[in-house]
């Protein structure tokens, strides 16, 4: 079990220490990006997903902004080729990324692009009614739908020859932030203690923002549909996913029992955020390490949103919480992102058995 700390300026020191392995992880491919529509017939649900993938060497990358308001960019651009032809004749590992509540599938473009440039296909589904553009309060009681989304995205990508031709179905990983991290724990086999969480949410901690939302809804007389109560109590283990990255996940300590977490056998990489208002990071790390056998932890001295893309000057102006990084002047989000990229790559290379850059089609 490893524990790594990334604290403010110290992050730059970590980058120097790991310069040798970073040099070995330079880009192998141009990066293609596309928005795809996947039809979930069983649930009568359209799943939009953002894809990043290794693209043809002839593709010409250019800056692309994933978050805008009016004419202004909210996040910094990343270099991709929209709808580029993919690399042919090779299969790559698949990583599915789950965004947080009030987030979006394009919020982690820096990390998705980094992985795609090094031989991964990354798919980030849009969780309907749980993103910043279509959020509905009652969806707070439907986190289980996210796990279904992730598994269904895997189903649909592997069933469609357009995508499956470039995906190694035996090497699938997961990344999730915030409630997306909770989704990862469900997919790893942990069972959500929904009844216990509702008791906790009845009198939430002042700094724990997510349960406060539940508390407000219940206080207003919202009745939880039986289907949602039942959905939160099912098992969502997806054995195809064999490596999990979770970033400041929530709800965890109030939502999973020790016995439930002990059921997780797959390797887990946990990123904490010491300035997070979601839950005390040190307590979260200790709780997870005590109950998940194969877990590594990485601590960042920053806020809950440090894992998302960098903000432009305009983004910092209109969304200060998302880009404030715990309101600490010493936080270097770019440096922290570089370490997140490197650590995630090493984790997936190890646990998805990626000793070579790709698997070649026979």
Residue 362 lies in a domain: no
Residues 261 and 256: their CA atoms lie apart, in Å, by 7
Residue 360 lies in a domain: no
The two beta strands, 90-98 and 167-177, are: parallel
For residue 335, what is the domain's CATH number? Answer: 3.40.50.1820
Neighbours of 313 (CB within 10 A): 9
Residue 339 lies in a domain: yes
Structure confidence at residue 40 (pLDDT):
75
Residues 315 and 72: their CA atoms lie apart, in Å, by 8
Structure confidence at residue 23 (pLDDT):
41
CA dihedral in degrees (159, 88, 168, 39; nearest 10)?
Answer: -30
Structure confidence at residue 89 (pLDDT):
93
Residue 224 lies in a domain: yes
Residue 361 lies in a domain: no
Cα maximum dimension of the chain? 60
pTM of the model: 0.86
Q: Are 242 and 168 in contact (CB under 8 A)?
A: no
Structure confidence at residue 356 (pLDDT):
42
Residue 259's domain comprises 3-354
Residue 145 lies in a domain: yes
SS (H, E, C) the chain: CCEEEECCCHHHHHHHHCHHHHHCCCCCCEEEEEEEEEEECCCCEEEEEEEEEEECCCCCCEEECCCEECCEECECCEEEEECCCECCCEEEEEEEEECCCCECCCCCHHHHHHHHCCCCEEEEECCCCCECCCCCHHHHHCCHHHHHHHHHHHHHHHHCHHHHCCEEEEEEEEEEECHHHHHHHHHCCCCECHHHHHHHHCCCCCCCHHHHHHHHHHHCCCCCCHHHHHHCCCCCCCCCEEEEEEECCCCCCCCECHHHHCCCCCCEEEEEECCCCCCCHHHHHHHHHHHCCCEEEEEECCCHHHHCCCECHHHHHHCHHHHCHHHCCCCCHHHHHHHHHHHHHHHHHHHCCCCCCCEECC
Structure confidence at residue 324 (pLDDT):
65
Structure confidence at residue 87 (pLDDT):
95
Tokens of 99: 């965004």
Averaged pLDDT, groups of 10, the chain, 362 residues long:
45 40 68 88 80 91 80 85 93 95 80 97 84 68 86 94 94 95 95 84 63 72 80 91 94 86 96 81 88 93 86 76 62 91 97 57 33
- Number of domains composing the chain: 1
């Amino acid at each position: 079990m490893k524990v790594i700390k990334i604290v403010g300026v110290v992050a730059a020191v970590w980058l120097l220490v790991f310069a040798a392995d970073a040099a070995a992880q330079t880009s192998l491919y141009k990066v293609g990006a596309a928005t795809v529509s996947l039809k979930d017939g069983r649930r009568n649900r359209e799943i939009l997903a953002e894809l990043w993938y290794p693209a043809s060497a002839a593709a010409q990358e250019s800056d692309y902004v994933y978050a805008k308001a009016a004419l202004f960019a909210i996040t910094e651009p990343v270099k991709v080729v929209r709808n580029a032809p993919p690399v042919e004749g090779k299969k790559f590992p698949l990583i599915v990324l789950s965004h947080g509540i009030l987030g979006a599938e394009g919020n982690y473009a820096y990390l998705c692009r980094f992985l795609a440039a090094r031989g991964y296909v990354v798919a980030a589904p849009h969780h309907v009614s749980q993103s910043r553009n279509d959020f509905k309060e009652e969806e707070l009681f439907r986190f289980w739908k996210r796990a279904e989304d992730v598994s269904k995205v895997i189903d649909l990508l592997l069933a469609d020859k357009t995508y499956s031709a470039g995906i190694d179905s035996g090497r699938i990983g997961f990344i999730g932030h915030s409630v997306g991290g909770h989704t990862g724990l469900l997919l790893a086999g942990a069972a959500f203690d929904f009844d216990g969480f509702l008791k906790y949410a009845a009198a939430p901690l002042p700094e724990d923002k997510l349960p406060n939302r539940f508390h407000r809804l219940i206080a207003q007389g919202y009745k939880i549909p039986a289907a949602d109560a039942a959905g939160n109590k099912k098992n969502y283990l997806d054995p195809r996913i064999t490596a999990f990255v979770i970033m400041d996940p929530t709800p965890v300590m109030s939502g999973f029992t020790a016995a439930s977490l002990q059921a997780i056998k797959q390797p887990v990489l946990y990123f904490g955020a010491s300035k997070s208002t979601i839950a005390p990071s040190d307590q979260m790390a200790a709780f997870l390490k005590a109950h998940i056998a194969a877990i590594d932890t990485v601590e960042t001295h920053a806020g809950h949103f440090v894992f998302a893309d960098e903000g432009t000057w305009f983004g910092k102006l209109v969304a200060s919480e998302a880009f404030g990084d715990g309101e600490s002047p010493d936080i270097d989000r770019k440096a922290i992102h570089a370490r997140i990229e490197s650590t995630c790559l090493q984790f997936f290379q190890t646990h998805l058995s990626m000793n070579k850059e790709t698997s070649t089609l026979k």
